[in-house]
Amino acid sequence: MRFLSVIIIFLLTFSMEAQQVLSLEESYELAEKNYPLARQGELLGNKTEAEVSEIQKDKLPRIDLNAQAHYQSEVISFPFQLPNTTMETPNNDVPFVGNIGLIYLFTAVYLLVILGMGLFISNYTDTQQQAMFIAWFFMVVFILMSGLFTPIESMPDWAQKLTLLNPIRYFVEVIRMVMLKGSGLGDILWQFGVMSFFAVVLNALAVWSYRKTQ
């Protein structure tokens, strides 16, 4: 009987020593090592960061440059003469008096203004569609009040003062002055200075607002 009791106690002690005691942290580590999805945790984290970065880039404006040229070699003419009228054949070439390099230089500054305005709008919108709608709204107003279709002199006084903040007004004035009047750099210094001021202010606001939203 004593011999049997000693054997039972020995077997119980051996079985207790054979069992491995695991802590809670060790259990978590084993679960992370053996669970398939847990092994991909780093990959999932990188994927999430890439998606967030792509969403943030969608707010930035995209630039599409399209160019089209057309030269008209012939004009419409009537093969008959109306009585008591004199109709001359219209000129098919638009006269270009000024320097085209000056127009390119002013256009580059104008593009900086438009890009700064687009970046500033994008920083306060959630999607690209919202940024496009807001930018399109302002561009339509700017075009209608630029003097391209309606002379600025025929507008009310309050509207004429508002056009001073319209960058497209200065662009239209420079195009007309250089192309039709042959104006030089000294003649467009006022428009060039105002456009450069708009470019600096709008791009500075765009950078400041972008850092603030981040």
Asked whether residue 141 is assigned to any structural domain, the reply reads yes
Asked whether residue 109 is assigned to any structural domain, the reply reads yes
Say how many C-beta atoms besides its own lie within 10 A of residue 117's C-beta: 23
Q: How far apart are CA 71 and CA 58, in angstroms?
A: 38
Asked whether residue 131 is assigned to any structural domain, the reply reads yes
Asked whether residue 91 is assigned to any structural domain, the reply reads no
CB 118 within 8 A of CB 133: no
Q: How far apart are CA 107 and CA 141, in angstroms?
A: 20
Q: Is the dihedral of CA 192, 197, 200, 206 positive or negative?
A: negative
Q: Is the dihedral of CA 162, 168, 174, 177 positive or negative?
A: negative
Q: Could you list the residue range(s) of the whole structural domain that residue 160 is in? A: 99-214
CB 210 within 8 A of CB 123: yes
Please give the pLDDT value at position 16: 47
Asked whether residue 9 is assigned to any structural domain, the reply reads no
Share of residues in the chain with pLDDT > 70 (%): 64
Please give the pLDDT value at position 83: 66
Asked whether residue 111 is assigned to any structural domain, the reply reads yes
Tokens of 151: 């002379």
CB 31 within 8 A of CB 39: no
> For the chain, what is the domain count?
1
Work out the pLDDT band at 18, boundaries 50, 70, 90. very low
Report yes or no on whether pTM surpasses 0.85. Answer: no
Asked whether residue 149 is assigned to any structural domain, the reply reads yes
Mean pLDDT, residues 143-152: 88
Asked whether residue 204 is assigned to any structural domain, the reply reads yes
